[in-house]
Amino acid sequence: MAGMYYGLLFMLSVILMLVYVFMYHRHYDVHISLIFALVPISNIAQYYLSKCQNIEAALLAQKIVYIANSYLLLMTTLAVFSLCNIHLKRYTRLILFIITTAECVFSQQIGLNSLYYKSVQLLNTNNGTILIKEYGILHTTYFLMVFAFFLMGMWAIGYSCYKKNRVSMRFVFLLAMPELLSIISFFARHMTANTPGFFRDVEVLPLTYDMALVVYLIIMDKIVLYNIPDTVINSVQQRDDTGFISFDFKLRYLGSSEFAAEIFPELNDFIVDKPVLTENSILKWLKDFAKDNSKDKVYYKKDDSIYLVNIGYLTDGTRKRGYQMFITDDTKNQKYIALLDRFNTELRDEVAQKTRHIVEMHDNLLLGMAMMVESRDNSTGGHIRRTSDGVRILIEEIKRGNEFDIDESFCRNIIKAAPMHDLGKISVDDAILRKPGRFTDEEFEIMKTHAAEGARIVHEILKNTDDEEFRVIAENVAHYHHERWDGSGYPDGLKGEAIPLEARIMAVADVYDALVSKRVYKEKMSFEKANEIIMDGMGKHFDERLKPYYIASRAKLEKYYSELDP
Task: Check residue 526 and report its DSSP letter.
Answer: P
Report the pLDDT value the prediction gives residue 565, as an integer from 0 to 100: 63
- The topology (CATH level 3) of 2-226 is Rhopdopsin 7-helix transmembrane proteins (1.20.1070)
User: What's the chain's average pLDDT?
Assistant: 82
Task: Calculate what percentage of the chain has a pLDDT beyond 70.
Answer: 85
Report the pLDDT value the prediction gives residue 272, as an integer from 0 to 100: 83
Amino acid letter, 32: I
CA–CA separation, 342 vs 335, rounded Å?
10
> Which is higher by pLDDT, 79 or 353?
79
Amino acid letter, 183: I
3-state helix, strand, coil in the chain (%, to 5): 65, 10, 25
Question: Cβ of 205: how many Cβ atoms within 10 Å?
Answer: 20
For residues 482 and 490, is the Cβ–Cβ distance under 8 A?
Answer: yes
- pLDDT band for position 232 (50/70/90)? very low
Beta-bridge mates of residue 328? 242, 308
- pLDDT band for position 229 (50/70/90)? very low
Task: Calculate what percentage of the chain has a pLDDT beyond 90.
Answer: 20
Report the pLDDT value the prediction gives residue 428, as an integer from 0 to 100: 80
Helix (H/G/I), strand (E/B), else coil: 538: strand
> Which is higher by pLDDT, 507 or 273?
507
Q: Please report, for the chain, the start and end positions of each structural domain, with discontinuous segments joined by +.
A: 2-226, 239-329, 350-564
Single out the residue of 559, 513, 475, 508 nearest to residue 381, CA to CA: 513
* CATH superfamily entry for domain 239-329: PAS domain (3.30.450.20)
Amino acid letter, 94: L
Residue length, the chain?
566
User: Rounded mean pLDDT of 69-88?
Assistant: 86
CA–CA separation, 39 vs 79, rounded Å?
14
Report the pLDDT value the prediction gives residue 224, as an integer from 0 to 100: 53
Helix (H/G/I), strand (E/B), else coil: 325: strand
Task: Check residue 28 and report its DSSP letter.
Answer: S
- pLDDT band for position 46 (50/70/90)? confident
pLDDT at residue 228 greater than cutoff 50: no
CA–CA separation, 388 vs 509, rounded Å?
8
pLDDT at residue 538 greater than cutoff 70: yes
- pLDDT band for position 376 (50/70/90)? low
Report the pLDDT value the prediction gives residue 480, as an integer from 0 to 100: 93
Burial class (CB in 10 A: 0-12, 13-18, 19+), 3: middle
Report the pLDDT value the prediction gives residue 548, as an integer from 0 to 100: 93
Q: Cβ neighbours of residue 196 under 8 Å, at least 6 residues apart?
A: none
- pLDDT band for position 195 (50/70/90)? low
Q: CA triplet 164, 168, 173: central angle to 5 degrees?
A: 95
For residues 464 and 485, is the Cβ–Cβ distance under 8 A?
Answer: no
Report the pLDDT value the prediction gives residue 536, as an integer from 0 to 100: 93
- pLDDT band for position 523 (50/70/90)? confident
For residues 36 and 216, is the Cβ–Cβ distance under 8 A?
Answer: yes
Q: CA triplet 189, 123, 66: central angle to 5 degrees?
A: 50
Amino acid letter, 63: K
For residues 58 and 129, is the Cβ–Cβ distance under 8 A?
Answer: yes
Report the pLDDT value the prediction gives residue 521, as an integer from 0 to 100: 66
CATH 3.40.50.300 fits 350-564, yes or no: no
For residues 156 and 96, is the Cβ–Cβ distance under 8 A?
Answer: no
Report the pLDDT value the prediction gives residue 358, as an integer from 0 to 100: 54
Single out the residue of 209, 211, 222 nearest to residue 172, CA to CA: 222
pLDDT at residue 18 greater than cutoff 90: yes
Question: What is the pTM for the complete model shown?
Answer: 0.47
